[in-house]
C-alpha cells in the first residue's frame, strides 16, 4: 500500500536551510521575512495570541511558542541556554511546524536555529522602519555572537546602514563578526568598550546572552534621538538596559503580557505605558514623533514572527526545492482501521 500525499510532510533540515539561505541570499531572505512579518502584524487581530509556554531551569529555558490565524497553526520549540557557548554548543536551538487548521495535518517541519536568527534580524528591521531616525547610517551592536551578522546585513539591506560598530566582552567574538562582515560593503569598526561602540550611532542593538539582570547600557551612554533595539532580554531575570533609560524612552513592544514578564520592562511597574508595535504599523498609534525622542523596541520574540518566517519558507519550497518528504502521518486505507494497517506491515512467518 502506498501512502497518500497527505502522509508526507516537507522537512527542511539544517543542510536544506543553508542551501535555501545561500540560494536566496542572507540579506534578501531577511528582507523577505521582514515583509511577511509586517504583513502579519497588519492583521494582528486575526491571530491567537498567548505568552510562550516556558520550562525554566538553573541552566536555561525550554519554550513552546504557538499561534494560529484560523487557517494555519504554527509553533516553535526553542531553548535558551547561555552556558552552552562554553560547552561548544549553540545558546539557542529551535525547530518549528506549520499545520492546516481544518484537518490538523502538518504541512511543514523545519529547523529553526538558523531561521530564528534570520527572523530576529527581520523583526528588528520591521521595528526600525517605523521607529528609527530617518536616514540612519550607523548601527552599534553590543554582543557579537550568533545574531550579530544577521542584524548588520538586515539593517544594511533594508534601512541603508553604512557603518556598523561592534563590541563584545569577548574580543574574539568581535573579531569573528568583523571577519564575517569583511566582504559586506559595510564600514566595520571594532570597539573595545561599550562606551566607545555607541558613539555616533543612531541605532543601538543589544543582543547579549547571559541570563541575568545586566546593565549593558547605562543612562549616560544613550543620547537624545537614538533608537534602541533591545533583543537580548527574553526571559524573567534577564535584562540589558539600566532602568533609567527605560524611564526616558518611548517603549514599543510585541505583546505586552509576554514582554512584561520577559522584557526590559520587567523592571518597571505593571502599569507603565507601552505601545504595541502592530498599532504603529497599522497607523492606530504614533511611533517616532520628533528628532530628540528616544525610542526603545523591547523585543522578546513572539510566536506570530516565527509563524511568518515558517510561512515564508513554505512559500519558497516549490521554486527553491531543498527539502525532504517525511513519512510521518499514518495513512490507512480505512481511517478506522489503524490496527489493520500495522498488522499488514508485520513480517510473514516463514518468509525468507
β-pairing, 106-111 vs 8-12, is parallel
Model confidence at 350, pLDDT cuts 50, 70, 90, reads low
Do both 318 and 260 map to the same domain? no
Confirm whether 342 is domain-assigned: no
pTM, 2 dp: 0.92
> In this structure, are residues 283 and 262 in contact, taking their beta carbons and an 8 Å threshold?
no
Average pLDDT over residues 247-261: 94
313 - beta bridge partners? none
Nearest by Cα to 32 from 303, 291, 314, 273: 314
Averaged pLDDT for residues 217-233: 89
Pair (178, 131) in one structural domain: yes
The reported pLDDT for the residue numbered 282 is 97
28 falls within a domain: yes
- pLDDT at res. 82: 81
Scan for cell 522602519, then name that residue: 129
Q: Which of 212-226, 273-287, 310-324, 334-348 has the lowest mean pLDDT?
A: 212-226
Statement to judge: residues 311 and 297 lie in one domain: no
Note the pLDDT of residue 307.
98
Catalytic residues: 234
Bridge-partner residues for 97, per DSSP?
75, 109
Shortest CA distance to 10 belongs to which of 236, 309, 227, 322? 322
Q: State residue 1's pLDDT score.
A: 31
Coil, strand or helix at 326: strand
The confidence score (pLDDT) of residue 3 equals 42
Contact status, residue 130 vs residue 287, Cβ threshold 8 Å: yes
Which structural domain, as residue segments, surrounds residue 260? 123-301
Separation CA 178–CA 165 (nearest Å): 9
Band of residue 61 on the pLDDT scale cut at 50, 70, 90 = confident
- Neighbouring C-alpha atoms within 13 Å toward the C-beta of 55: 6
Domain with residue 31: its CATH number is 3.30.1780.10
Q: What nine digits make up the cell of 206?
A: 543589544
Q: pLDDT of 159-187, one tens digit each?
A: 999 999 999 999 999 999 999 999 999 99
* Alpha-carbon dihedral angle through residues 93, 210, 299, 15, given to the nearest 10 degrees: -20
- Name the band, by pLDDT with cuts 50, 70 and 90, for residue 2: very low
Q: Is the pLDDT of residue 352 over 80?
A: no
Share of the chain above pLDDT 90, in %: 75
Asked if 241 and 175 sit in the same domain, the reply is yes
Give the number of domains in the chain: 2
On the question of pLDDT at 111 being above 80, the answer is yes
pLDDT in tens, 13-26: 999 999 999 999 99
Give the pLDDT mean for 128-139. 96
Could you tell me if residue 348 is inside a domain? no
Q: Is residue 344 part of a domain?
A: no
User: pLDDT tier at 126 (50, 70, 90 boundaries)?
Assistant: very high
Whether residue 309 sits in one domain with residue 297? no
pLDDT digits (tens, 9 = 90+) for 30-53: 999 999 999 999 999 999 999 999
Contact 304, 41 (CB under 8 A): yes
Amino acid at each position: 500500500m502506498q501512502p497518500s500525499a497527505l502522509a508526507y510532510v516537507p522537512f527542511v533540515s539544517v543542510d536544506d536551510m543553508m542551501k535555501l539561505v545561500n540560494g536566496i541570499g542572507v540579506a534578501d531572505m531577511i528582507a523577505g521575512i521582514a515583509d511577511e512579518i509586517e504583513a502579519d502584524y497588519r492583521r494582528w487581530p486575526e491571530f491567537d495570541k498567548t505568552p510562550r509556554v516556558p520550562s525554566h531551569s538553573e541552566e536555561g529555558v525550554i519554550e513552546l511558542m504557538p499561534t494560529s490565524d484560523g487557517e494555519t497553526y504554527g509553533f516553535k520549540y526553542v531553548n535558551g541556554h547561555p552556558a552552552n557557548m562554553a560547552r561548544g554548543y549553540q545558546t539557542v536551538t529551535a525547530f518549528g511546524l506549520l499545520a492546516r487548521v481544518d484537518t490538523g495535518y502538518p504541512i511543514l517541519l523545519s529547523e529553526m536555529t538558523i531561521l530564528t536568527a534570520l527572523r530576529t534580524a527581520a523583526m528588528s528591521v520591521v521595528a526600525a522602519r517605523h521607529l528609527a531616525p530617518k536616514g540612519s547610517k550607523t548601527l552599534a551592536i553590543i554582543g557579537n555572537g550568533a545574531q550579530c551578522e544577521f542584524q548588520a546585513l538586515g539593517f544594511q539591506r533594508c534601512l541603508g546602514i553604512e557603518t556598523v560598530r561592534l563590541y563584545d566582552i569577548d574580543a574574539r567574538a568581535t573579531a569573528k563578526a568583523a571577519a564575517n562582515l569583511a566582504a559586506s560593503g559595510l564600514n566595520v569598526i571594532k570597539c573595545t568598550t561599550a562606551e566607545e561602540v555607541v558613539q555616533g550611532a543612531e541605532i543601538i542593538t543589544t543582543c547579549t546572552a547571559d541570563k541575568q539582570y545586566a546593565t549593558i547600557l547605562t543612562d549616560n551612554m544613550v543620547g537624545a534621538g537614538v533608537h534602541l533595539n533591545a533583543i537580548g532580554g527574553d526571559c524573567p531575570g534577564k535584562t540589558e538596559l539600566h532602568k533609567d533609560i527605560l524611564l526616558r524612552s518611548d517603549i514599543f513592544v510585541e505583546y505586552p503580557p509576554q514582554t512584561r514578564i520577559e522584557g526590559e520592562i520587567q523592571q518597571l511597574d505593571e502599569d507603565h505605558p507601552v505601545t504595541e508595535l502592530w498599532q504603529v504599523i497599522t497607523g492606530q498609534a504614533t511611533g517616532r514623533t520628533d528628532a530628540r525622542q528616544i525610542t526603545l523596541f523591547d523585543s522578546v520574540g513572539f510566536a506570530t514572527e516565527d509563524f511568518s518566517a515558517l510561512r515564508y519558507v513554505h512559500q519558497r519550497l516549490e521554486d527553491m526545492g531543498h527539502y525532504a518528504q517525511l513519512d510521518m502521518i499514518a495513512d490507512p486505507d480505512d481511517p478506522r482501521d489503524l490496527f489493520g494497517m500495522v498488522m499488514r506491515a508485520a513480517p510473514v512467518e516463514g518468509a525468507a
